Chain A
Amino acid sequence: MPKIKNIANDYSVPILLISLLFLIKALYLSFCVTPFAAVPDEIGHFAYTQDIAYGKGIPVLSPPSTGKSVISADVMGYVEKTTDSQPAYNWIAQHPPVYYIIAAIPLKIGSLITDDPDILYRLPRIVSALSGALLLLVLFRTFRVIGLDSSRSTAIAAAIGFIPMVSHLSSGTNHDMSLFLFCALATHFFAKYILSKEIKDAYQCAIWLAIASGTKMMTPLVLLVPMVFILILELPRQYRIKHAIWILLIAMSIPMAWMVRNFIYFGSFFYTSGTDRKPALEIALKQSFADYIKSQPVFESTEHLFYGMFGHMAANPNRVFLEYDVLPRHLRFIGVTVGGVPYDVFSTLLFFVACACMVYISMLAWRSSKEKLKFPNSNSLISQANSHLIDCKYKLIPLAAIIFLACYAAIFVSLTSFNSYIFILFSSIPISIFLGIVALPLVFYVTDSTDRIALYGFAITLFFGSIFLYHIYGAYLEEGILRAAQGRYFYPVIPLVILSAAIVLVRLRISKFIIYTGIALLACAELSVYIEQAIPFYLQYY
């Protein structure tokens, strides 16, 4: 058990208070504001949690007719407001069980005390609220590791709690907030290892990556692969192979176990459907990627949905089909994406941070080109590559070529995707593409570990974003509509993105007052979203 004195040493009073206030906000939203089923896929997540809490075990993803992964009749009846509702297919059973085992604890305890569904159905939300509050503390500790002072660390950690989608998800039963927390912990130990080179940190990073991959299918794996690869690059020569194997085994342990289970049950490692549903289009589209990002609002939708989306799913005389369901339901779906001034404030702040990152990476590239040979500070693969490159006569040529390529890619995305007005608002996306491409070779030129963490952040974000884009592009060709452009899918990589941004703020010596003003604007924007958009929306329909 951590002692109170240790907590007081590790965390400042303001971050403890801000985290506590976030917890109060998330719990208040959970029990008094956010209606049941308003958070994405909440009925599915709750049904999975219910299966574990009530001893039914881990559901096996299967066609609706077999009834092995179902949303129970009582949950459907609660949403449809009828007593004769039928169970529904639970598509959420595709995910591994780590989050659901944790979320089952408050539900199990609650079920021993009350049988009121208005309380019981909201109890697993406590886990999301706690995850959100702990996330702020973990981010704070991570910023302290890279040398950011306590005040700035508090402000930047608090910022994440003022994104409406984060507070919204913290008030619902879903695995996204716990995944966010686990990935933040992995990022914390990742940064700690690169700075201190204590091998136990690399192992702790691997453990949290494994836990994150045991929380959700797919997206944590896209973080796990590059993070483990970098850890191996950073390992010292002594026992390198032994540590590399162990780190890989630990990180892959839970996802491998889940994949083996999938193979045993379904004959496929990455089984996520549970039905033999065919794509919407009989003949897949033959559209180039350039035409795709030109014709579809891919980047705008993703950024918009990252900032905020509120849903509504409630009883209605109309009959609709739930995902892959066999029966029509008396339900209605309405989703509103947060818009207006709050979103513009968020986009503008994001743009300024992206610009600061661009200034930083340009300075870093310039400095690296001038850097003279030094003794490598460790005998890791990256340090060896670094010492060879610094001494190389033609070291500037590949770097200049990559910067040219990065400029081309960023300009191509800007010109292809955005018209004149939107170009300004979404330029943080082309800038992040530029940052990712330049960071890839630059990590081999930079000797400072803190700078290398920032570069790893940019590079991993590019890798993550590319996989995400490839996935939704494939889905578009098969379905004919833009699907799965959910900003929350980026949560695994966000702690690393914020860490990179924090390093930029340290290096550019951005004033505390500017950071505080930005955070205050974010907080007011979030408040405005709830008061003017979310609460009236909920009360209008529920």
Chain B
Amino acid sequence: MKSLNSFFPLFLWVICFLVFILIFPIGSYSNKIERAALSPSQALEQIPAGELVAGFRLEQPIDWNLIKRVKLNESDTLCIDILLANYGDRNNTGTFSASLQAKYFSQKILLHANQIRDNTYHHFCYDSLPLRNITDRPVTFVLEGIDSPPGQAITAWMTSDTTRGKARLNNQELDKSLIFSIDIVTESNKKRIQAIVLTLLCGLSISILFWPAKLKSQ
């Protein structure tokens, strides 16, 4: 019993360490690496795009020339951060979609309006669209309202800085652009392996410290 008690600190450490690893932010042990490809656009004369209710469709072209400044791999995918708003933390309902559309390929992400925080960038990742399928082809980011009623829908912020291309609202070109940034997601086992090796080394080092003193001296 006494020798079992001497293992208590070690046991406590192992439990705490496992909890610590589990509360790491999601992605710490994933094989995905996100790299900034395009910084957020400049917010000039910022106005809301209108409520994302049924029938609302806003298209934002993506300029490959701006993204190609960073090193791209064929298997990389894109994440787009869009500045959205919910009208001062209003209680919104219904759904909307954010899709990335190329000529032959597209991916649509459906989201409930109440998941959007006010004046915050929302991260949309298109992991089913590897760059080999969409690169060098006209690509458009599309925001569509689905079933949010008026007065209970979210919106997106727009800027008069149109250097990244003019947005189209219900097929009409605007002198505005969405406020967005783009990240490139690369899959690499290197990151996961490095994280696991360092975790093991850290765990082992402290476990040696907490190993019962009597057994250490044997």
Contacts and interface: CB of A to CB of B under 8 A. Distances in A.
A11 to B, nearest CB: 12
A421 interface: no
Nearest to B196: A531
B83 to A, nearest CB: 23
B208 A531 contact: no
Nearest to A151: B213
Given A530-B198, A531-B28, A17 B206 contact: no
A155 B209 CA distance: 7
A161 B208 CA distance: 14
A524 B191 contact: no
A25 B209 contact: no
B179 to A, nearest CB: 23
A18 B208 contact: yes
A13 interface: yes
Interface in A484-542: 513, 516, 519-520, 523-524, 526-528, 530-532, 535-536, 539-540
Nearest to B17: A524
Contact of A519 (B24, B206, B213): B206
B194 interface: yes
Given A151-B213, A530-B198, A516 B208 contact: no
A330 to B, nearest CB: 14
A14 interface: yes
Given A12-B216, A14-B211, A531-B28, A523 B205 contact: yes
Interface string A14-30: 10011001101100100
Interface in A29-67: 32-33
Contacts of B39: none
Interface residues of B, number: 34
Contacts of B34: 536, 540
A516 B209 contact: yes
B23 to A, nearest CB: 10
Contacts of B36: 540
B186 to A, nearest CB: 8
Nearest to B190: A539
Given A28-B197, A151-B213, A516-B210, A22 B205 contact: yes
A523 B33 contact: no
B56 to A, nearest CB: 35
Nearest to A21: B205
Interface in B165-218: 186, 188, 190-191, 194-195, 197-199, 201-202, 204-206, 208-211, 213, 216-217
B210 A524 contact: no
Chain A CB count within 10 A is highest, among B202, B211, B216, B217, for B202
B157 to A, nearest CB: 27
A17 B216 CA distance: 11
A239 to B, nearest CB: 42
Nearest to A13: B216
- Judged by DSSP, the binding face of A is helix
Contacts of B29: 531
A86 B201 CA distance: 41
B28 A532 contact: yes
Interface string A140-182: 0000000000010011001001100000000000000000000
Contact of A524 (B20, B190, B204): B20
A539 B191 contact: yes
Contacts of A22: 205
Contacts of B24: 528, 531-532
Interface in B17-38: 17, 20, 24-25, 28-29, 33-36
Contact of B194 (A32, A154, A158, A540): A32
A28 B193 CA distance: 11
B209 A158 contact: yes
B13 interface: yes
Contacts of A527: 198-199, 202
A539 B33 contact: yes
A40 B99 CA distance: 44
B209 A21 contact: no
Nearest to A532: B28
Contacts of B197: 28, 32
Contacts of B213: 151
B66 interface: no
A527 B206 CA distance: 12
Interface string A338-368: 0000000000000000000000000000000
Contacts of B55: none
Contacts of A13: 216-217
Interface of B: 9, 13, 16-17, 20, 24-25, 28-29, 33-36, 186, 188, 190-191, 194-195, 197-199, 201-202, 204-206, 208-211, 213, 216-217
Please name the 7 residue pairs, one residue from A and one from B, whose CB atoms are nearest each other, closest first: A527-B202, A539-B33, A540-B35, A531-B195, A25-B201, A14-B208, A21-B205
11 contacts: A12-B217, A161-B205, A513-B9, A516-B210, A519-B206, A523-B205, A524-B20, A531-B28, A535-B194, A535-B195, A539-B190
Given A21-B201, A516-B9, A530-B195, 16 more contacts: A13-B217, A14-B209, A21-B204, A21-B208, A25-B201, A28-B197, A28-B198, A151-B216, A513-B9, A520-B16, A524-B202, A526-B202, A527-B202, A531-B28, A532-B28, A536-B33
